[in-house]
Amino acid sequence: MTDAEHMPIPQFDIASLLDFYRRGGSVRRVVEQIFARIEEVDDPGIFIHLATREALLAEADALGAFDASKPLFGIPFAVKDNIDVAGMPTTAACAEYAYHPGEDATVVRLLREAGAIVVGKTNLDQFATGLVGVRSPYPIPRNAIDRKLVPGGSSSGSAVATAQGIVSFALGTDTAGSGRIPAGLNNIVGLKPSVGALSTTGVVPACRTLDCVSIFALDVDDAWTVFSVAARPDDTDPYSRTIAAKGFGTLPPSLTIGVPAQTDLQFFGDASMERAYGEALAGLTALGHKLVEIPFGNFYKVANLLYEGAWVAERYAAVQSFFDAHEDRLHPVTRKIYGGAKSLTAAEAFNGFYALQALKRQLEPVIEKLDLFCVPTAPRHYTVAELAAEPIRENSRLGTYTNFVNLLDMCGIAVPTGTRDDGLPASVTLLAKAGRDGLTATLARDLHAASGLTLGATGWPQPEPDIVLQDVPDDGLIDIVVVGAHLSGMPLNHQLVDLDGQFSRACSTAPNYRLYALSGTIPPKPGMIQVAEGEGREIEVEIWRLTPAALGLFVSAIPGPLGIGTISLSDGTSAKGFLCEQIAISRDATDITGYGGWRAYCARPA
């Protein structure tokens, strides 16, 4: 066996897996580990359709050797079964509805192009109607933390697959909280983007005007990495918007955070959840942020609209022809909800629109004056038995802090904050107006790190924070020094351009570096090392600028023996940039320091 074959399989956060591949680890071994975990977890309710071992091994072989240009190279993910994956049926948890799409949903295509591998299609509340995760004709996914509890929905299988460490991340959808509630109940992160940030082409609609593709991940960095890849405008989706993956990195010293007034908080008798939320707010104060109590009555009024006229009718409209022909094939609760919409009138729908607009007008100044909001993700945990006794009421209560979000065009992210006094997971959701996805994710990152929690139900520790996300300048961009194949016009410069990198300037290092042409690299690359004063010279380099999220993607794809360190420049400043491990210089590398830079070396006479 080679040394790489002896390497232990890492935990499944994205950074750990990319490092494993960078050091020669095999995607085939990760695929085998996926099936070992599926067997160990032994939950038949997670997947409606699972790729075969042979198909995934073939896909692993097709990926080949580690490709630094693919930010999700070899990363396994699952897809909620209302999102199309070519070669797999889409059922929306209704076997009679099933069809076989000829192509991937746009978001799946983007993730696959970035190197990610689809493991399977996950269970859900039928037609994404529910927050409980049990409205499915298939076996019900078990809550990853305590199987007596509901898993949350509608993206139940996606959340449980992620929490159990079967996949690194999973796609869900979110109309009323389906991308947040299951995250909060299973101790993982649930990123609900601004409406339109991720394309919904290839997604079975629930409410087309509100639907989002959401992201479940073990930690915030992973959720943001996936968002950065998938957040692209799509002309095939009439609700798509250009909402760039930006603003993730550092925060102002103090944010103004709205929280529900004490008299408006609702936990429905769950004192442990109430205490956990108070502890999370104390954590925000400890981080230096200011809390402002806000009357929440109008937010609740908006939430109530979601299950009245207009938006119930919109759910019915999405599957009207199927429902009218096959009503008896639906789950009983789903059938009751959709059936109630058949008698609604257009007038009732318009009355709903008018009511929403009036409430939005009242809430706009409240939302504008605050940086963001912090609410409980769910007001309480429910057991499967409790849910069976009151299926409609308890589902509605689960949406107390989620149902209003898409109606008010807000983004959000659910993040674990600790463990309750009874051992169950605690979570809050950070909300802000559309386009502030990076702000909410950055604060969520701080909260998750401060919690010290392990990831999902895996027992894995949180990865070390990525140093490139520290000390972000006021304009949100970070300097990166490039030395060789990433220079302007060179073969790998497109990796910077594809990440919306901005060229800053050409300059030189301080005179204490040496440059080597590395052997066996494709495309050819140099390695630069720092040496003692008087033993080197100035090397020509370029400065490019990237957002923190883009820099994280860029750095995660750097193959060994290259790495990132601090480079001193000739003007007395310094910046992060490419350096090489010393050991690589002794492996048939050619000293090209005399050329003064990689561009001059490449332009030498043949």
Q: What is the CATH number of the domain that holds 484?
A: 3.10.490.10
Quick one: 481 and 445 in the same domain? no
Quote the CA–CA distance of 327 and 339 in Å, as a whole number: 8
Quick one: 198 and 324 in the same domain? yes
Q: Domain boundary residue among 406, 430, 462?
A: 462
Q: Domain boundary residue among 462, 492, 519?
A: 462
List, for the chain, all residue ranges whose pLDDT scores fall below the cut of 70. 1-4, 465-476, 556, 560, 606
Residue 403: exposure state from Cβ atoms within 10 A (0-12, 13-18, ≥19): buried
Quick one: 429 and 543 in the same domain? no
The 10s digit of each residue's pLDDT in 114-131 is 999 999 999 999 999 999
Helices and strands, number each (H, E), in the chain: 21, 19
The one catalytic residue in 80, 121, 246, 525 is 80
Quote the CA–CA distance of 17 and 11 in Å, as a whole number: 7
Q: Which residues contact 80 (CB under 8 A, 6 or more apart)?
A: 121, 122, 124, 128, 154, 155, 157, 158, 170, 171, 172, 173
Tell me the sheet residues that pair with 56. none
Determine whether 178 is an active site residue: yes
Domain total of the chain: 2
Quick one: 593 and 452 in the same domain? no
Quote the CA–CA distance of 192 and 186 in Å, as a whole number: 16
The one catalytic residue in 26, 136, 155, 178 is 178
Task: Give me the pLDDT at residue 467, please.
Answer: 42
Determine whether 254 is an active site residue: no
Quick one: 434 and 483 in the same domain? no
Tokens of 168: 């690194």
The one catalytic residue in 26, 136, 154, 155 is 154
Quick one: 364 and 505 in the same domain? no
Quick one: 407 and 477 in the same domain? no
Determine whether 154 is an active site residue: yes
Instruction: Give residue 10's domain range.
Output: 3-462
Distances (CA, A) of 327 to 322, 342, 422: 8, 12, 42
Quick one: 451 and 488 in the same domain? no
- Where residue 445 sits, what CATH number does that domain have? 3.90.1300.10
The answer to whether 483 touches 577, Cβ cutoff 8 Å, is yes
Quick one: 446 and 549 in the same domain? no
Quick one: 453 and 486 in the same domain? no
Dihedral pair phi/psi, residue 276, rounded to 5°: -65, -40
Reported pTM = 0.80
Q: Domain boundary residue among 429, 462, 495?
A: 462
Quick one: 295 and 204 in the same domain? yes
Quick one: 182 and 208 in the same domain? yes
Torsion over CA: 400, 402, 405, 406 (sign):
negative
The answer to whether 7 touches 29, Cβ cutoff 8 Å, is no
